[in-house]
Amino acid sequence: MSDVIWRPNAEYLKDSNIKRLMDLAGVDNYPDLHAWSVADTSRFWDTALKDLGVEWYEPYHTTQANGFPFADWFIGGKTNIVLNCIDRHVRDGRGDHLAFSHECDDRDATAFTYDHLNREVCRLANALRARGVKKGDGIGIYMPMAPEIIVVFFAILKVGAVAIPVFSGFGASALAVRMEDANVKLLFTSDGSYRRGKPVPIKDEADRACELASCIETVVVLKRTGEVVPFDEDRDVWYEEFVEGHEEHAETEVCDAEDTALIIYTSGTTGKPKGTVHTHAGCLA
């Protein structure tokens, strides 16, 4: 098992991402690169972000301050994940390039270009703003792996709100605990999803979670399976109706590097689930 089964040639190595980073660091082997990254974390992350091409509305003036474990990062910098993942591609003429493709067992494969994704994200971002969602608000995501979940995620970040995704296989109590902890007022969900070709309900669990988490005021429901589901006319709104009539252009919120982008909760197997905070710059790094 110690035999080398493949060794890249010089041309392959020369064009690799890690070789480019090593050249920027002024080292010629991986152990030295790792040692440098540990010894000089500020310079490493400054170099890494430049190598990745992370874009800023305003550049940071200090890479790191205050030290571990509670360091402040990219101080003075202003950015947004959406600027880097969507906006710049549309701006730079790559709108017709593939942003993502989606395959599932209940419909044909779906492909989104950057232009298509941008239009859908903007419509939803405008709908969120019209509903009163503002920077820093927590928005719950309890959805299956449908294409719309990507639109929802980026639209939340575009308006500067905080995405709080919860695994759609979790039950009502697990969802409610996370929504209450984050004081979520608006939740995205679906009528259901498909597993092994069969419809699986989701909305029922979301409804029960709303009974347990009194903070939830609005539930946006994606029609995925077409199954008949309970519908609270005072609280629920279909996704298609929620975005209907909204423009396909929206400004992306300018966020501080350390503004919260999403909160991902731990499993809760050893106690109450803990929300782990991910910032805009932290996700990009």
Q: Are residues 116 and 75 in the same domain?
A: no
Mean pLDDT value across residues 81-91: 98
Strands 110-113 vs 98-102: parallel, antiparallel or unpaired:
antiparallel
The enclosing domain of 255 has a CATH number of: 3.40.50.12780
pLDDT at position 192: 87
Same domain, 179 and 206: yes
- Is the residue at 264 inside a domain? yes
User: What confidence category does residue 220 fall into, taking pLDDT thresholds of 50, 70 and 90?
Assistant: very high
Regarding whether 268 and 191 lie in a shared domain, the answer is: yes
Looking at residue 109, its pLDDT comes to 83
Please say if the pLDDT value at position 1 is more than 70. no
Task: Report the chain's mean pLDDT, rounded to a whole number.
Answer: 94
The number of angstroms, rounded, from the C-alpha of 227 to the middle of its chain's C-alpha atoms is: 28
- Tell me the pLDDT tens digit for each residue of 171-203: 999 999 999 999 999 999 999 888 887 888 899
pLDDT in tens, 246-283: 999 999 999 999 999 999 999 888 888 999 999 999 99
Strand ranges inside the chain, DSSP E: 62-65, 72-75, 78-79, 98-102, 110-113, 138-141, 162-165, 186-190, 192-195, 198-201, 218-222, 236-238, 255-256, 260-265, 275-279
The predicted structure's pLDDT at residue 3: 84
HSE-CB for 156 with a 13 A CA cutoff: 26
Q: Note the pLDDT of residue 179.
A: 96
Residue 92 shares a structural domain with residue 139 = yes
Say if residue 44 is in the same domain as residue 96: no
73 and 86 in a single domain? The answer is no
Stretch 86-106: mean pLDDT: 93
As for how many domains the chain has, the answer is: 2
Instruction: Say yes or no: 27 and 16 in one domain.
Output: yes
Is 39 a member of any domain?
A: yes
Highest mean pLDDT among 107-111, 123-127, 141-145: 123-127
pTM of the model: 0.93
Residues 219 and 271 in one domain: yes
Q: Are 46 and 36 in contact (CB under 8 A)?
A: no
The parent domain of residue 199 ranges over: 81-284
Confidence at residue 106, expressed as pLDDT on a 0 to 100 scale: 66
Which amino acid belongs to residue 48?
A
Last residue of a domain, one of 79, 101, 124: 79
Same domain for 90 and 108? yes
Whether 19 and 70 map to the same domain: the answer is yes
Query: Of 62, 79, 96, which residue is a domain's last?
Result: 79
Q: For residue 152, what are the β-bridge partners?
A: none
d(C-alpha 118, C-alpha 95), whole Å: 9
My answer on whether omega of the bond before 69 falls inside 30° of 0, hence cis, is yes
**Domain match, 75 and 92 both:** no
